[in-house]
Structure formats: structure tokens, C-alpha cells
Structure 1
Amino acid sequence: MTTFGIIWALVRRDYALQYAGSFLGISWMLLQNLLLISIYATVFLVLGIRHPNQTWDQSSYLLTGLVFWIPLQELLVRGTSILTDNRSLLKRSTLGLDLFLSIPLFQYLIHATITLVPVYALLYVSGQLNPFGAFLGYLCILLTGFYLHLLLHYLSRLNILLKDISPLVRLISQIMFWGLPILYFPQGFLKEVNQMNPLNVPLDMFRACVIPNYVSQFHWISFLPFLLTFILIYLLSKRKFQAVVLDHL
């Protein structure tokens, strides 16, 4: 069996375990994401939060922020616990840690694609989608998943050493959510806070690709320190943590 075939079999197995006994099965994932996007968008649109100088539609701003974040949050939480959840299988097999770490990444690609299609369709019908930038926006989302995956190599190994850091990661994900300009516009002190979020520039680039007349709020140069840090963390986890983690499985 090819490497892709093995990963796909592991992904299907993980889905079966996650949604075992669920009435809707994996369809619940899509429904849950769309409901969450709808609730957030409805509440904040009703509140009428609007930047006085904006030239783009407010609903497109909210929808693009939510469709960008939700699959990434799933990747962060699932990727942290993937090794501990498959501890017994890791002990019995010779597949290696990296192959199992590919499971949440593949699931992210699936979730992001499935969630993005109806949002793109809604934006297109309402005239709020840049057709030429839609593919670039999709590519930006995929690359952001690979970028976050660098950090997961460290968090998943740390989760084994410290038994379970999933509650802490969920808390951090909520802090990251409110630290991103998803439901509000970056102004004043909030804009300074946004610049400390490693996902801030990718979100801004995604919106610049997708939303017509959107003006980027941040410079891409500010993203480089985060990228270099994530790469160093990835190398550290591969070289320093590998043997220690295998002993703790």
C-alpha cells in the first residue's frame, strides 16, 4: 500500500472513531461548522458592527474570518491529541509518528474545502467574491494549515510527555480566536494585539484575495518572525523530542 493509501486508511479510521454512534456521521462536521458560522455572522450582523471607512461588505468580512478560523481551530485541537489517541496503534506498528500527524492535516484539508464551498457560493451569489482571487484564497488556507502543522509536531509530542494538554490548547485557541480580527475591525490597541497573533497575516492575506476592494491591514513582513519560529520549533521537536516521546508511549 502506498503512503497516501495508508494515510487515507488512518483518516477513515479516525473519522469512524470520532463519529461512532452519531446519527449524522461525518455529515455532522459540515453541519456544525455551517451552523457555527451562521450563528456568529447573524449575531454580529444584527449588532451592526461596522467600520466607518470600510469599502467592502461587512458580511463578507465576517464570513471570510469565520471560514478561515474554524477548520484551523479543529486542526489545532485534533492535532495536539492525535498521538495520544492512537497510542496503542503506534506501539503495535512501525509507521512512525509523522504518518499519524498527517491525519489531522488531511482532515483539515477536507474540512476547509467542504466548509469553504458553500461560503464561496454565498459570497459569489451576493456579489462579494473576487472570482480571480478565490483560488488564491483557497491556496492561502491550505498553506496556513501546513504552517500550523509545524507547531503541531511539537504540541502533539508535548501532549504525550505532559499526559494531556488538550484543555490548555482549547483555552489558547479561544484566546487566539479573540486575538484575531475575525468579528471586529483592527483599530488602535486591538490592532497592536492582532499583530502578536501568528495567524493574523495569513487571515489578512486570505481576505485580500477573496474580498473585492479589500485593503490589507497588516504588512506581510510581520509574518516572517512567526514563520521562522515555527520552523525552529518543528526542527526542535524532530531532533530533541523524538527519542524521549517514543519512550513515553
Structure 2
Amino acid sequence: MRPALTLATALASTLALSGCGTLSKLAEVGRAPAMSAITNPTADPNWRPVSMPMPRPEMAPTQVSSLWRSGSRAFFKDQRAAMVGDILTVLVNISDTANLANATGATRTGSEDAGLPNFLGLEAQLPKLISKALDTSKLISSSSTNANTGTGTIKRNETVTLRLAGTVTQVLPNGNLVVAAKQEVRVNNELRELQVSGIVRPQDIASDNTVVHDRMAEARIAYGGRGTLSDLQQPRYGQQVMDVLMPF
């Protein structure tokens, strides 16, 4: 009775947690997924300011009667993103290939024998006290054999190419920029969501105001979506609950 009650409780909890998503899907029946409104990234309840180790602040030397500013790439004005609210383009070009193969083998054999041929001259009395068939020279005998063989293979190919504009959401004390980029593309009834966030150095921003993803620290790149095709590619809620609860 208890397993059934536990399963029912788990199903009820799952339905309660997925209720909002289910209702939104029911509201979109017969319609394309609605695009989200353009919002301030820092107004998201899940947004948190980034805190990173910072060097000691140093005062920039003043240069009297100089028109050139240290760190600037343009004589008149630096066109690259530098302040909160500035826009820059993030280039994502991931092409990773991993191929790992491991094989292990281990074998061990052990044997132990123990006896009591002499024990203060009383070894002759032990068979009379315990059993007449007792052999004091072979009191304990043990043997063990262990064999282990393991093989593993990992093959992975990933290719992601993205280009989207982001906004500077924070300037760290050492001058590094926190960038957040989000883009939504809807084709028929399928909505594709692209999200990139991370920390970049102003020096790594090119003259055309672009930055490559491999120059971003703490990079978070997400490419997904929602719609009819995405829903069909995922198991249903009940199956997901059973996969978690079933021990076999």
C-alpha cells in the first residue's frame, strides 16, 4: 500500500510542478509558440551580479597635453563596447571531437593455509576434545580467485555555429565586461532560443565590436527551443517519473 501511495504522491507533485508548463502548452494549441517580450536581463529574478577575484586598483598615470588614451584603439573614439548597455556581437564557433577508448583487466589468485602442529604439548588432546578426525596441521585452509575486465568507448562530435548580439550588463572593478545575449527565432510552429553569457576583456573585443566565444570566461552557451517537434523528442512526464522511481 505504501509504494502505491508514494507513487501517487510523486505523480501529484510532478503534475503540480509541471502545471504551469502544461497550461501554457494547452493555451498554445493550434497556435505558434509566443515569443517573449524584450526585457532587461538584470530584471530577471534569476539574475545575480557576478563577483570575481579582482586585482588591487591602480591609478592611471596622467599624461599632460596628450590626446591619446591608454588602451584605446582609435585616435578619436573607441567604438567597442565598454559601458553597461553597450551592444557587441558574440561569435560562437564550436567544433569539438572526442574519441576515448579504455580497456582494463585484472586477475588475482590467493591461497592461505594454517595449522597448529604443536601447542604446549596439548595438540594430541585436541582431537579427543573436539573430534577424532581433527588434523591439527590443517586447521584453516582458504583460497580465492578474482578476475575483472572492463572496456569503455566514448565518441562525441559537436558543431555549433552562432552569431548574435549581446548587451553589457555589468562592468567589473578590473574593467572586464559581463555580457548577456539572447535571441529567439520562430519558424512555423517551432521556436528556437539562443542564449550566451560570460565575461570578456575589453582587449579581446575586436575593432568591429565582436568577440569570439573562446575569449569568454565562465561562458554559458545554450541552444534549444520549444514547439511541437521539441515536445515529441522528449518523453512524457509519466515516463520521466517512472524512470526516476523504478529501481530496475
TM-score, L = length of structure 2: 0.19
Q: Where is the helix percentage greater, Structure 1 or Structure 2?
A: 1
Q: Where is the strand percentage greater, Structure 1 or Structure 2?
A: 2
TM-score, L = length of structure 1: 0.19
